[in-house]
Structure 1
Amino acid sequence: MNRFRRPSEPGAGPGRHHGLAAGLSAYVLWGFLPLLFHALRAVPPFELVSWRVVFTVPVCLAFIAATRSGGDLLSVLKNRRVLLRLMLSAVLIGSNWTLFVAAVASGHVLATSLGYYINPLINVLIGTLFLGEKLGWRQWAAVAIAATGIALLLGGAIETLSVALTLAVTFALYGLVRKLTPVKAIVGLTVETLALLPLAMGYAFACTMHPGGSSLARGGLTATLLASSGLATAVPLLLFAMAARKLAFSTLGFLQYAAPTISFLLGILVLGEHLDPLKLACFVLIWTAIGLFSWDAWRRQRAIAA
């Protein structure tokens, strides 16, 4: 879900098809993630994220071993500058995870969907402010339309607005830090989760001292789902990294909307969230902005290829 990766346009062939399958799989898995956290809604958000970090670390280390990236990991751990940046990205992604889990548990899946629809447009603004990227008038128009949709929520859906904007901004800032920190996706995630691990283990241990005990100790389905959160975190990211190497930016830009679309449909059709007229109007304006932005990106890509 990151606009900042700009892979070169590959030619047609098996590599591109594999990249397309990997990219679509990543976004579909991200789209269905609310179901996992909805099933774990009885687990307090901070505890859930703590176990998510704890179970993600061994998955990452297994992938590090499988891809023979141990040397890359050691190089990063010895580089103070890169390490500090990844610690910052760890704080950002940890905050993003916690808010996402809390939003799903409190019945705000539509707000998370809105946040990830907005995210690419926030990326555009960050690229303009921090990376010197220039926007055309169509892109500015898309941003203005999206801003109008967001402003509508000020009229009566402040909680939805705050969740959506915080998710979008934290993930966009995370993307910016990772763009400026050139490390492999699996190496970066490994360092980030290792940075969060002491805090996560401390909180998880504290939960065992609580009268209700640790959620993991309940066993059964809860323990299984908590353990699966490690795979649910690492696998989509690795699939995305594979796709980013094989697909053009324009293709990834189109695929990224699969995740919030799936979450949007899950929120309404499966989890029974209410879409009132105000929120619907906001979504329509955001979709219009995305359509204009995507059309302009496709048009520019065609012009470059011509």
Structure 2
Amino acid sequence: MFYTIAAYLMWGFFPAFFPLLRPASPFEILAHRIVWTAVLVTFMLVITGGWRELKEMSLRTWGWMLGCGITITINWGTYVIAVNSNHVADAALGYFINPLVSVALGIIFLKETLTKAQVASVSIAFVAVLWLTFMTGQAPYYSLALAFSFALYGLLKKQISVSSMGSVAAETIVMLPFALMYLGYLQVQGESTFASEGPGHMALLVTSGLVTALPLLCFAQGAKHLRLSTIGMLQYMTPIMQMLWAVFVTQEDMPTERWIGFIIIWVAVIIYLADLVRMGHASRRRARLHSPTPSTDETAA
């Protein structure tokens, strides 16, 4: 559990890190995240011998990796734009909504059946989005973009069987040419901040690769040893931390209408989590009932 909690804590502190990368634009930050994450994870694959996994991937798998790369790039980019334009609360809302969007996509694309509680939670989340749209005058674009991009990313990942490190490496490698071309364009236009803002700024941009990769790898390690219901509850550490950051650190404007929208979302989340816990208990009870009962001789032995 330590690795999983560490991952969610690191993600929770992301709003503190990305503003440090100013005056780099969100798109320059995104390009550096892709480049340095690709460099770091590929280096780790080489020294651990995992590079062979990438070499053995089929063209079809690389196609899925391109889809994963595009969706996670949209997610990373949207997050940086939101945080660096003081929309941390919107980013937090996106990650409160995300599991519910994943449930909805499971119905549409995977023909999954839902419990009554899941239907209720998704419906309530939809009502919350409508409330925020009509009462604040605009849709929560950042929240929806983050929720849907990450849910689509998860949906695409279900189509392939690749190790966590191999997946992150492949996803960033397929996006690497675009990131390098954009950084080259900035350099030619004289708009790059990489070398113009001093060694500290340069080091922070390089560090964005470690900041991106480390929680992903911690999560992958921790998730192997935890039940899905536990992960489902722990994942809300991140948006809770980000919401607290928005309220107490960046002090974003939160009118009553917006708070009501968030409360409606939290009701949906509570229903979702309660159902997740219920299903976890039911699954363990079934496992105990179907486990073989030792005979008298075996017990005596």
- TM-score normalised by length of structure 1: 0.89
CA shift in 2, pair 1:213/1:170, >3 Å: closer
How big is each residue's C-alpha offset from its partner over 1:129-177, in whole Å with a ceiling of 9 and x where there is no partner? 1112111111111112211211111124355611101110011001100
Q: Paired residue for 2:159? A: 180
Q: Paired residue for 1:21? A: 2
Q: Paired residue for 1:259? A: 238
Choose the corresponding residue for 2:116, options 121, 133, 137: 137
Q: Paired residue for 2:128? A: 149
Choose the corresponding residue for 2:43, options 36, 43, 62: 62
How big is each residue's C-alpha offset from its partner over 1:83-106, in whole Å with a ceiling of 9 and x where there is no partner? 001011111111111111111111
Q: Paired residue for 1:47? A: 28
Q: Paired residue for 1:6? A: none
Answer yes or no: is the 8 Å Cα contact 2:89–2:252 preserved in 1.
yes
Answer yes or no: is the 8 Å Cα contact 2:129–2:139 preserved in 1.
no
1:205 aligns with 2:184: yes
How big is each residue's C-alpha offset from its partner over 1:39-91, in whole Å with a ceiling of 9 and x where there is no partner? 22421111111111111112101221343212212112xx1000001011111
Q: Counterparts in 2 of 1:262-301, with a 5 A limit?
A: 262-301=241-280
Report deviation, 1:273: 1.1
Once the two structures are overlaid, the 10-residue window that deviates more, 208-217 or 276-285, is 208-217
Q: C-alpha separation between the residues in 1 aligned to 2:22 and 2:250?
A: 12
Once the two structures are overlaid, the 10-residue window that deviates more, 158-167 or 234-243, is 158-167
Q: Counterparts in 2 of 1:104-253, with a 5 A limit?
A: 104-157=83-136, 161-253=140-232
Choose the corresponding residue for 1:94, options 73, 87, 92: 73
Answer yes or no: is the 8 Å Cα contact 1:138–1:296 preserved in 2.
yes
Q: C-alpha separation between the residues in 2 aligned to 1:169 and 1:93?
A: 10
One-letter code aligned to 2:190: P
Q: C-alpha separation between the residues in 1 aligned to 2:68 and 2:218?
A: 20
How big is each residue's C-alpha offset from its partner over 1:228-275, in whole Å with a ceiling of 9 and x where there is no partner? 110011111111111121111011101100111111111111112122
Q: C-alpha separation between the residues in 1 aligned to 2:103 and 2:207?
A: 33
One-letter code aligned to 2:11: W
What percentage of aligned pairs have identical amino acids? 33
Q: C-alpha separation between the residues in 2 aligned to 1:261 and 1:91?
A: 27
Structure with bigger gyration radius = 2
Answer yes or no: is the 8 Å Cα contact 1:89–1:174 preserved in 2.
yes
One-letter code aligned to 1:32: F
- TM-score normalised by length of structure 2: 0.91
Report deviation, 1:219: 2.1
Structure 2: 5+ residue runs without aligned partners?
A: 286-301
Answer yes or no: is the 8 Å Cα contact 1:49–1:98 preserved in 2.
yes
CA shift in 2, pair 1:182/1:117, >3 Å: same
Q: C-alpha separation between the residues in 1 aligned to 2:192 and 2:215?
A: 31
Q: C-alpha separation between the residues in 2 aligned to 1:67 and 1:259?
A: 30
